[in-house]
Amino acid sequence: MAAPVLSIRNLTVEIPTRHGILKPVDGVSYDIVGGEILGIVGESGAGKSMAGNAVIGLLSPPAHIAKGEIWLNGARVDQLKGEAMRRIRGKEIGMVFQDPLTSLNPLLRIGDQLVETMLTHLPISHAEAEKRAIAALEEVGIPGAAKRVNSYPHEFSGGMRQRVVIALALCAEPSLIIADEPTTALDVSVQAQIMALLKRLCRDRGTAVMLITHDMGVIAEAADRVAVMYAGRLAELGPVREVITAPRHPYTHGLMASTPLASKGQKRLHQIPGAMPRLDAVPDGCAFNPRCPYVQDKCRHAPGPTAEGNAAACWFPLVQEELS
C-alpha cells in the first residue's frame, strides 16, 4: 500500500469548560491514501467535523488538540502555527464546505479568487493562472467558463456555486480534499452531479478525500473506506461494502438498520433506543454501552479497543451469522 497522504494518530481534541473538559474527538486514528475517498459518518455531535477542522488547523478556541499526531505527506502538521499552517492549508489541503458561501469571498470575482489562490501556491505567471482558472471552471462543468470567470459568487445557483468551490479547492493541486457535508444543502439531482464530479476529479488526480457526511447513501456510493464515529470516538473503520453490509460494531449495525431503505417492506423501522450522549455525559467504558443490545459487564468498565485498520471498537464484535 502506498504511503498515506494523511495519517491521524490517536487524535484527541479537548474543549475546557467550567463544567470540565469535553472531548469532541477522543483517540481517533485513520489514514487516507492518494486517490482514496474515506467517508466519515456519524450523527450530529459525533465529532466528525471537529476531526476535519483539527486537520486544517481551524479549531475555534478554546478547542485545541490535546493529544495525538497529524501527518500530512510525511510531515507532522499538528504543531504548526500561524503562517506555516496557512501555507499548508492552501497548498496541500483543499476544502469544500456545506455552504459554498463560506469558502467564496462575495466581493471578488470567482476568476480572481482562483488566480489568487494559484499564484500564492504555484510557481506560475499571472497569464498562465488566468488560463488555468478558465480550464478549472470548464473542468467542473460551468457552462461558458470563459465568460463566467468574471462573475461574482451570488450570480451562481447553489449547485453551480458548489462547483466553483470544488474548482477553487482543486486549483492549487492539493494532495488532500476535506469535504464537509458538501451536498447537504443541495437537491437530490444536484447532489448526484456534485458527487459524481468530486469522485471523478479526485480519482483522476490521485487526490485523497476526507468525505464527512451523515448520509449513508452518499457514503455507500462514493467512499472506498468508511470510518463510523460515535461520541467522539471511532466505532468502526473498514471498506465501505463490509461496513454497510456486514457491520461489526453494534452501533454501526443499528445505524444501518434504522435507515428506511434497510427496512423496506417492514411496518416499523429498526430503532436504537435512546440518543447519543452529550459530550459532558459520556458514560464510562464503551460510550455506546447504555444503548447496546449486546452489552456485557466488561463494556461498562473498559473503553472498547480502538478501531484501527479494519476493526470495530467493540469488545464483542458482531459475527455476521448473528445478524440475519
Partner 1 sequence: MALVSVKNLSRVFDVSKPWLNRVLEREPKAFLTAVSEVDFEVEPQTTYALVGESGSGKSTIGRMLVGLLKPSGGNVDIDGVDLANETDAAKIDAIRSDIQMIFQDPYASLNPRWRVRDIIAEPVAARGGKTDGLAEKLLEQVGLSVKDAGKFPHEFSGGQRQRICIARALASEPRLIVCDEPTSALDVSVQSQVLNLMSDLKDNFGLTYVLITHDLTVVQHMADRIGVLYLGRLVEEGAPEDLFDAPKHPYTQMLLDAAPRMDGFGREATPPEGEIPDPINPPSGCAFHPRCPLAAEVCHKERPVMRRLGNTRVACHMAEE
Torsion sign over Cα 140, 145, 149, 152: negative
- In this complex, which beta carbon is closest to partner 1, that of residue 68 or of residue 232? 232
Least distance (Å) between residue 17 CB and partner 1: 16
Q: Where are the alpha helices (DSSP H) in the chain?
A: 48-55, 82-92, 110-121, 126-139, 145-148, 158-170, 188-205, 216-222, 240-245, 250-258, 297-301, 320-323
Of 69, 58, 53, the closest CA to residue 9 belongs to 69
- In this complex, which beta carbon is closest to partner 1, that of residue 65 or of residue 140? 140
- In this complex, which beta carbon is closest to partner 1, that of residue 90 or of residue 217? 217
- In this complex, which beta carbon is closest to partner 1, that of residue 259 or of residue 306? 259
Residue 284 near residue 241 (C-beta atoms within 8 A) = no
Least distance (Å) between residue 267 CB and partner 1: 7
Burial 300-319 (b: 16+ CB within 10 A, else e): eeebbeebeeebbbbbbbbe
The phi and psi torsions of 229 (rounded to 5 degrees) equal -110, 145
Least distance (Å) between residue 185 CB and partner 1: 10
SS3 state of residue 74 = coil
Binding residues for partner 1 (CB under 8 A): 43-44, 157, 159-160, 187-193, 195-196, 214-218, 220-221, 240-241, 244-245, 254-256, 258-264, 267-272, 275-276
Least distance (Å) between residue 241 CB and partner 1: 5
- In this complex, which beta carbon is closest to partner 1, that of residue 127 or of residue 281? 281
Least distance (Å) between residue 324 CB and partner 1: 15
